[in-house]
Structure 1
Amino acid sequence: MNFRKIWVPVGLAVLLFAAHQTYGWPGVAAVGGGIVMWLLLHFNRLMSVVRKASQQPIGYVASAVMLNAKLRPGVNMMHVVAMTRSLGKQMSPKGEQPEIFRWTDGSHSHVDCTFDHGRLASWELYRPKQDDAPAPAVEHTPTP
């Protein structure tokens, strides 16, 4: 069970109660204003991330290798979308846990990220195989 969904509202209610007990209604107004400001800051960041992600193709990242290096377990989905500036392409069925999203770069390397209840659980980098044979040389014939 996700305790953050329970403890954050309970903590805010306790904070409001303590403000009322200490300073009365002016304390509730001050703490309530602080809570509203905190919520607006989070909402503003969410909208900024979504606006930047809407300007990129779904599932695209500039470099899958760099994304692989920057990922850390436990970060939330919004943090990963902010890093990639793109929404991931969903590879798992909708509504099932864990969710798997893919980000691909221009060299066809891709990172598959597994999110468990909105938190990054694991990720895997796939890189296409490089041919060991050198590229064929282009022969130029001199023009007469």
Structure 2
Amino acid sequence: MLGLAWQSWGWKGVALVAGGLVMWTLLHFNRTMAVLGKAAQRPKGFVGSAVMLNAKLQPGFSLMHVITMTQSIGEAMTAQGVEPEVFRWHDEGGSWVDCEFERGRLARWSLVRPPEPVPPARD
């Protein structure tokens, strides 16, 4: 883009494209910091409802998108740098969602719910 801008408009074009790239970078950085700032104020790996999170997830979501949805940083279940990365979000009811990310994108997820308590038998 810089080369095309140079050929078309000279230094003015280069300045315009460079300014646009810097603006895009700053907007992206600002959004990332806002999302992580909100997530840092909540318990790690906590979500209001694991069932609702399970319903909203779609393949291809980025980790940042999932963090934005949950407003919480997921609890890492795998060592850093191991593919696929697995993160867990749980709720107060004991349910949790394990999300597998490959190359930063959601590949698979699973919902685990605690077994329902068996009511006592009546005489």
TM-score (norm 2): 0.94
Larger Rg, first or second structure (1 or 2): 1
Structure 1 runs, 4 residues or longer, greater than 6 Å off: none
Distance of 1:87 and 1:94 partners within structure 2 = 14
Q: CA deviation at 1:94?
A: 2.1
- What fraction of aligned residue pairs are identical, expressed as a percent? 57
Residue of structure 2 in register with 1:113 after alignment: 99
Match status 1:66 vs 2:52 = yes
Residue of structure 2 in register with 1:20 after alignment: 6
Match status 1:88 vs 2:60 = no
State the aligned residue count: 120
Unaligned runs of 5+ in 1: 1-14, 135-144
Residue of structure 2 in register with 1:126 after alignment: 112
Match status 1:50 vs 2:51 = no
1:107-136 CA distances to partner (integer Å, 9 max, x unpaired)?
Answer: 0110000011111110000111112417xx
Unaligned runs of 5+ in 2: none
Distance of 1:93 and 1:36 partners within structure 2 = 34
AA at the equivalent of 1:104: H
TM-score (norm 1): 0.80
AA at the equivalent of 1:120: L
**CA RMSD of superposed structures (Å):** 1.0
Residue of structure 2 in register with 1:29 after alignment: 15
Match status 1:98 vs 2:84 = yes
Distance of 2:103 and 2:31 partners within structure 1 = 20
1:24-62 CA distances to partner (integer Å, 9 max, x unpaired)?
Answer: 100110111111111111000000010000000111001
AA at the equivalent of 1:21: Q
Distance of 2:81 and 2:24 partners within structure 1 = 29
